[in-house]
Amino acid sequence: MSRLAHLIKKEFTQVRRDPAVLRLILIAPIMQLVLFGYAASNDVRNVPVAICDQDNSADSRQLAEEISQSRYFHLTPMAGDPRALEGLLLRGTVQIGLHVPRDFHRTLERGQTAQVGMYVDGTDSNNATVAAAYLTGLLRARGVSLAERSARAAGRRGVTMPGIRSEPRVWYNQDLKSVNFMVPGVFAMILLVLTVNLASLAIVRERETGTLEQLLVTPLRARELLIGKTVPFALMAMFDAGIIFLLARGWFHVPFRGSMALLFGMALVFLLHSLGLGLVISALARTQQEAQLTAFMVVMPNILLSGFMYPVENMPVVIQYVTYLIPLRYFLQIVRGIFLRGVGVEVLWPQMAMLVGFGVVTFAIGALAFRKRL
């Protein structure tokens, strides 16, 4: 066996014996999948709505009935006092309060326009926007059918109202399921989290236990040490990526439309970057604790600013420039592009070029930091 093979074998033996690392490797992907696959959902559904129906006529009850049947809304029962609406909104029990006034039915009868009050809790601005738009649309449609009914009642036949409805054709993710967006993101994230965390301990742990000194007097070459220290982490990260890929397809039914070779190929390129990052941290940190905290501080902006959770397009321009320096951003676009859009090199080449550039540069810096002197 060559020196390199001995080194790699030793790394695996150590991983096998370290419950904390094993946990990180086995639990982290599953935990992230559960969290992001199930919990991370911005889908507007079950928005709690309360109706204060002071009219209590067939028309107003019909209104409530229609809302309760929509999959977007969940009707919360309440008493007939409009002042109670405010309390419900303040407590956050409901997100939207509707007030149907006492003379609703009579106004309709007279052929006049009634006012329906709608109070939206705007705290969560996005959710509020979407929910309010959906509810307004639903009520307007109801208004149109009421108008048609009264026209028919007036004896005019075949009357319709003009209007424009949207007919959305959603591409890449027909049902707008968050899981289809999130799970490919986890695929990218796990590669980063795992390798940065493990690689950041690579040198500093040997230094803390005192083994580095013993290792450095052997004829082991710097580049052998570098490869021996990174290959096991790369293999473990790819193993996790494989698990996530299988679960994404088999359990979460995330569509996969692109090339698998391209996906895993780019994953390897991304690993160059994340391993390099870990090595830099490992070379700079004095203790394992410092290395772990630094790794954590590096992973944070990757989670929040890469487009993993929040669209980069929404960020202020200055921050958008910052995100160009986060290679995870390109890798996410590649992974999601391959998973959901089925695009390949012809579309993704700019991101790939950036990723290759970052991968080579970061790994080179990491390798430099990994000098063989004490």
Partner 1 sequence: MNRRRMMAVARAEWIHIRRDPRSLVVILILPVFMLLLYGYGINYDLDRIPFAVWNLDGTQVSRDLIDEFRQNRYFDLRESVLEQRRIEELLDERKVVFVLVVPPDLGGTVGAGRPAEVQFVLDGSDTTRASVALGYIEGVLNDFSGQLQAQWANRQGTQVAAPFTVYPTILYNPDLRSRPFIVPGLIAVLLTLLAGLLTSTCIVREREWGSFETLIASPAAAGEIVLGKLIPYIVIAFANVVLSIVVGWVVFGVVPLGSMALLLTASMVYMAASLGIGLFFSAVSRSQQMAILFAVLLTFLPTILLSGFVFPLRSMPTIIAAIAQIIPATHFLVIIRSLYLKGAGLEILWPQLLVLAGFAVVIVVVAAGRFRKRL
Partner 2 sequence: MALAVEVSNLVKRFGDFTAVDGISFSVSKGEVFGFLGPNGAGKSTTIRMLCGLLLPTSGEARIAEHDIYRETELIRRSIGYMPQFFSLYPDLTVRENIEFYAGMYEVPRARARERVEELSGRLGLEGLLDRMTRTLSTGWRQRAALATALVHQPPLAFLDEPTSGVDPVTRRQFWEFIDDLAREGTTVFVTTHVMDEAEHCTRLVIMHDGAIIAEGTPEEMRTRYVQNMVEVQAAPLWEALEALQASPLVREAALFGDALHVQLREEVVDPAEAVRQALGEAGVAVEAAECIPPTMEDVFVALARGGEEAVREASP
C-alpha distances in angstroms, 4 versus 108, 201, 357?
85, 19, 27
Q: What is the closest distance, in whole angstroms, from the C-beta atom of residue 73 to partner 1 in the complex?
A: 11
Among 1, 2, 17, 20, interactor with partner 1 by CB under 8 A = 20
Q: Where does this chain touch partner 1 (CB under 8 A) — which range of 4-12, 155-163, 220-228, 230-238?
A: 155-163
Contacting residue, 127, 212, 242, 360, with partner 1 by CB under 8 A? 127
Q: What is the 3-state secondary structure (H, E, C) of 237-288?
A: HHHHHHHHHHHHHHCCCCCCCCCHHHHHHHHHHHHHHHHHHHHHHHHHCCCH
Residue in 7, 8, 11, 24 binding partner 1, rule: CB under 8 A: 24
**26 contacts partner 1 (rule: CB under 8 A):** no
* Gap between the Cα atoms of 186 and 173, Å rounded: 17
Residues 131-150 that bind partner 1 (CB under 8 A): 131-137, 139-140, 143-144, 146-147, 150
The sign of the CA dihedral 291, 293, 294, 298 is positive
CB of 223 to partner 2, least distance (A): 12
C-beta of 1 vs 154, nearer to partner 2: 1
Distance, in Å, from the CA atom of 199 to the CA atom of 21, rounded to the nearest integer, reads 12
**The dihedral sign for the CA sequence 178, 179, 185, 189:** positive
Buried/exposed code over 4-34 (b: 16+ C-beta within 10 A; e: otherwise): beebbeebeeebeeeeebeebbeebbeebbe
Q: Coil, strand, or helix at residue 75?
A: strand
Residue 211 lies near partner 2 (rule: CB under 8 A): yes
DSSP secondary-structure letter at 202?
A: H
Pick one of 300, 325, 345, 353: the residue that binds partner 1 (CB under 8 A).
300
**Which residue in 326, 235, 224 sits closest to 277, CA to CA?**
326
Alpha carbons within 13 A on the beta-carbon side of 230: 25
State which of residues 215, 303, 309, 354 lies at the interface with partner 2 (CB under 8 A).
Answer: 215
Say how many residues touch partner 2, by CB under 8 A.
26
Residue 26 vs 243, nearer CB to partner 2: 26
Over the window 140 to 179, marking each residue x when it contacts partner 2 by CB under 8 A and - when it does not, the resulting string is: ----------------------------------------
Residue 215 near residue 2 (C-beta atoms within 8 A)? no
Residues 85-114 that bind partner 1 (CB under 8 A): 89-92, 104, 107-108, 111-114
367: its two tokens: 């390798």
Give how many residues touch partner 1 by CB under 8 A: 111
Q: How far apart are CA 369 and CA 220, in angstroms?
A: 17
> In terms of Cα–Cα distance, which of 73, 114, 69 is closest to 97?
73
Stretch that binds partner 1, among 75-83, 153-161, 212-220, 360-368 (CB under 8 A): 153-161
Say which entry of partner 1, partner 2, none residue 24 contacts (CB below 5 to 8 A, set by partner kind).
Answer: partner 1
Site mask for partner 2 (CB under 8 A), range 16-45, x = bound: -xx---------------------------
Among 219, 250, 311, 316, binds partner 2 (CB under 8 A): 219
Q: Which is nearer to partner 2, 9 or 257 (CB)?
A: 9
- Binding partner of residue 319 among partner 1, partner 2, none, CB cut-off 5 to 8 Å per kind: partner 1
Which strand (E) or helix (H) includes residue 73? strand 73-76
Q: Which residues bind partner 2 (CB under 8 A)?
A: 1-3, 5-7, 9-10, 13-14, 17-18, 209-211, 213-221, 373-374
